[in-house]
Chains A and B, each alone.
Chain A
């Protein structure tokens, strides 16, 4: 099972390395989406500081969901998905591996890029640290839930928009705890409660989402 896992992650990373521009698209979307908010609501620094955690988190959520359809779509198109599913006992490993590679390619870069946007919104240093920490804890949840959405909507025309509609409501707890952690720190309070809850959501999702996603893949390919 570990062999399948490593193989799938390695393959996804190598494929992404070959198409670097495609791999960078989620980050580009992240930057553009975040920049829209000051343009939409005005440049007043105090207000921007207040909305920063929410804006960054929502942009991360949407960026993750938009890029997750490619998770399985490419493999479905060239037939390798069916081959991968034939590996005995490998379905959960594949699903977990896909979530990990998505996180490595989208979630982790977003968390690394976040400080730049924290500065742009004039977040305090503690706030920026909290932003990165909450994104590191929360983006894996997004990758796991996104994987479920991608498996459910495999091969459908409506693709990414449908996926966003069905999965984003389920990601609301992560959004609340993640953005809330940053807001708490920025207001000088402790974010420990938020982190604990976000961690709990991560564990819960980490255990159940791969099972559900594997079932969704079976439903989609039978």
Chain B
């Protein structure tokens, strides 16, 4: 019996009214966790980890490049998941969360490309190499861009949510195929065998730092996505009672009662 109760109670947060204050309370914790983990990860990676034999200290970009790339991919799938839930169950909040994820995912994709380019220049000589990983990240950036472009081009909010969900699902299904085709394409054209982005032999401390940075980026994403979701929820439900209440938290009970009486009075 308790299991059933817990499960139904969890669904309570599917309503924007309940999600809003919960998210508000969680954001500072996520932010703090992100900061602490980043400090720990950077301490290990930048200060303690040894210099690499082949790549020198340029390899240290890996501690932000790999976490950013992972986050860009994970966030796309998570975005597609919540968008699909929002479509299948007509759950508006799920769609709101999906929309909130997209810009952050796109940002991480950009960072993966930027840090990848800066890592590539000293290690293989050019700012950009059309290798499988970087090219796939570029295509992922296009996928995020397509999603954002589509949902902003549609004025009707619910149609935009559903169309975006469909596009994100189609994108998610396609990502493995695209990744495989890019690897195929890359191995065929391996003229000058440039062993690109060969990660250095990972000492334990490097792996630990990367893990910490990844978790930090995860916590960061939670914080930012929650704040953005709160903003979007307010924007969408700006006529609702829960939004008014959430915003006018300082109101006293008498103020609420007075307004209720005035509203009913004005209604007659």
Which residues does A use to contact B, with CB under 8 Å? 148, 152-153, 156-158, 162, 165-170, 172-173, 176-177, 180, 183-184, 197, 201, 204, 208, 212, 215-216, 219-220, 222
Contacts and interface: CB of A to CB of B under 8 A. Distances in A.
7 contacts: A152-B163, A166-B149, A169-B139, A169-B178, A170-B174, A172-B182, A215-B166
B159 A212 contact: no
B182 to A, nearest CB: 7
Contacts of A157: 153
Contact of B166 (A170, A184, A212, A222): A212
Interface residues of B, number: 28
A51 B25 CA distance: 57
B167 interface: yes
Contacts of B145: 165
Interface of B: 139, 142-143, 145-147, 149-150, 153-154, 159, 162-163, 166-167, 169-171, 173-174, 177-178, 180-182, 184-185, 188
A216 B185 contact: no
A169 B174 CA distance: 9
A170 B170 contact: yes
A152 B181 contact: no
A200 to B, nearest CB: 9
A197 B142 contact: no
A197 B149 contact: no
A212 B142 CA distance: 20
A127 B233 CA distance: 56
Contacts of B163: 152, 216, 219-220
Contact of A180 (B166, B171, B177, B185): B185
B174 to A, nearest CB: 5
Nearest to B188: A180
A190 B110 CA distance: 37
A169 B153 contact: no
Contacts of B173: 208
Contacts of A158: 149, 153
